[in-house]
């Protein structure tokens, strides 16, 4: 099985699925960047499957156009990706994540636990999933615009880990201070800062990819999910 069809009141969409060798297993929902469910997102899902999770990566741009799959390698693709981002309805996206979680929990072999991990736009959506859905654990990587939603922080009822890049061009220092003030002392939240890194430092092959800090962030997330989902 490598595809899951997810139903919503507005229509259906597909999610990429990577299965682990052993079942039953918890689910990790992998939330895309602005480039769609591309090779990078599918490889992240595959990696979570190797770690023992049912990994599900929903096509959250389906309301704009189904099956968007582009890279970060050309100016034309960046322009296209930002166009999708500007057209994207964040609230509907969170609703679609909730629908994905429900469908994933019903998969044969799923043990009922669901985590969410997201990057860039997906990082923001992961934070909002922590405040609006019934997931069990959430891992947000450099979520652009998170600072604008800190009024929802009191709604967090399950563990959340957040990774932020100190030199993030899309999340400036003042925005990070807002996040730190809201989440720094939150009992269910842990924040990790990577002072010398820029946005998307964990995207393999990306312009700002840094293997050392990416490995550190991913190891922290792996430990976090193991503690809260396994």
Closest to 194 (Cα-Cα) out of 182, 207, 211: 211
Q: Using alpha carbons only, what angle is made at residue 206 by residues 68 and 140, rounded to the nearest 5 degrees? A: 75
Question: Which strands make up the sheet holding 160-165, listed edge to edge?
Answer: 3-8, 11-18, 54-58, 25-31, 110-119, 137-141, 160-165, 189-194
How far is it, in rounded angstroms, from Cα 222 to Cα 139? 10
Contact 179, 152 (CB under 8 A): no
The answer to whether residue 186 is catalytic is: no
| 163, 199, 210, 213: the active-site residue | 199
| 96, 136, 168, 198: the active-site residue | 168
The answer to whether residue 215 is catalytic is: no
Closest to 203 (Cα-Cα) out of 39, 17, 14, 29: 39
Active-site positions read 168, 199
């Amino acid at each position: 099985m490598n595809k899951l069809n997810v139903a919503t009141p507005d229509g259906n969409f597909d999610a990429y699925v990577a299965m682990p060798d052993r079942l039953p297993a918890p689910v990790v929902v992998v939330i895309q960047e602005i480039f769609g469910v591309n090779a990078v997102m599918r490889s992240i899902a595959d990696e979570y499957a190797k770690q023992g999770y049912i990994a599900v990566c929903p096509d959250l741009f389906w309301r704009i156009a189904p099956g968007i799959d582009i890279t970060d390698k050309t100016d034309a693709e960046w322009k296209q990706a930002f166009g999708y981002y500007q057209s994207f309805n964040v609230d509907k996206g969170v609703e679609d994540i909730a629908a994905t979680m429900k469908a994933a929990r019903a998969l044969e072999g799923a043990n009922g636990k669901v985590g969410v991990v997201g990057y860039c736009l997906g990082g923001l959506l992961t934070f909002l999933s922590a405040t609006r859905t019934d997931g069990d654990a959430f891992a947000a990587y450099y979520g652009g615009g998170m600072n604008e939603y800190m009024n929802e922080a009191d709604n967090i009822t399950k563990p959340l880990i957040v990774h932020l890049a100190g030199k993030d061009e899309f999340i400036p220092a003042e925005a990070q201070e807002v996040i730190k003030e809201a989440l720094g002392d939150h009992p269910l939240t842990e924040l990790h800062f990577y002072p010398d890194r820029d946005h998307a430092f964990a995207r393999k092959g990306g312009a700002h990819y840094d293997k050392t800090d990416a490995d550190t962030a991913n190891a922290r997330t792996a430990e976090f999910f193991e503690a809260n989902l396994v």
